[in-house]
Amino acid sequence: MARALVGDFEDGADFDYHFPPVTARSDIAALRALVLARFPIFAQLPAARLDALLAQSPLRRVPAGSVLFEPNMPCTGFPLVLEGSVRVSKPAPNGRELVLYRVSPGEGCILSGACLLGQTEYSARGVAESDVMLLGIPSEQFHELILQHEPFRRFVFDMYGARLAEVMEAVEEIAFRRLDQRLAQLLIQRGPVVNATHQNLADELGSVREVVSRLLRGFEERGWVKLERERVTVVDPKSLAAFARG
């Protein structure tokens, strides 16, 4: 029996790439249209080869909050995000977390690519920030595309360059800017309404909830933000931005 293109969530099911491939012609056609819309690079593949790739690549829809991979887990495929957002972070033994980057629709996970190319295990955690649909290109097909399909190879390496720049910027922020300035900058970037818990913001900054909560209360006392449950509203962006710049 052919698997539905978009199935129901499996309550409590762990994420993996091991489930039946798409086989029905109607499934392939619908998936092809979605993949080409998100990843135009595949339009340069011969139609028959693209359909074969899609038939071999598991498609999965997972609910928000699902852990897609953890440190020391083996990598079995290269995920391409079709819908939703995946947060990739480095967890610490004390429970703190440093967000490295996010994978949005039309992007792949460079950490997965690095694990496949280097034949290593994951060194970070990937979590679905929202309901996510992704296509997992198996390891063998990933290596074939890297070797034989120049647009895909350029797509992967361009992502490496962009993510490296982001990580270098994050390192610079952590090393040379105060936490309160970084928090102010984060609120400006994500505002004017930031739907997030104090713990979410702390994870984003590599800090702890108690410290971030104290800083937010200070911002509120100055009249820069308004605090609500799981929401921060920037009410004086000019002053907050000036503070962020130092």
DSSP for residue 20: P
Specify the pLDDT at position 3: 28
Decide if pLDDT at 180 tops 90: yes
Mean pLDDT for all residues in the chain: 86
Picking from 35, 66, 49, 50, the residue whose alpha carbon sits closest to that of residue 135 is 35
pLDDT tens-digit readout, 38-78: 999 999 999 999 999 999 998 999 999 999 999 999 999 99
| Residue 231 φ then ψ, to 5° | -155, 140
C-alpha distance across the termini of the chain, in Å: 61
Contact indicator for 81, 101 with CB cutoff of 8 Å: no
**Rounded-to-integer distance, Cα 54 and Cα 85, Å:** 21
Tokens coding 95 = 């429970």
Q: Note the pTM of the prediction, 2 decimals.
A: 0.73
When pLDDT is averaged across residues 6-12 and rounded to a whole number, the result is 32
Amino acid at 200: N
Ordered by where they begin, the domains of the chain are 25-173 (2.60.120.10), 178-245 (1.10.10.10)
Go through the chain and tell me how many residues it has: 246
Residue 154, SS3?
A: helix
pLDDT tens-digit readout, 190-224: 989 999 999 989 988 888 889 999 999 999 999 99
Q: What angle do CA 53, 58, 63 make, to 5 degrees?
A: 140
Decide if pLDDT at 25 tops 50: no
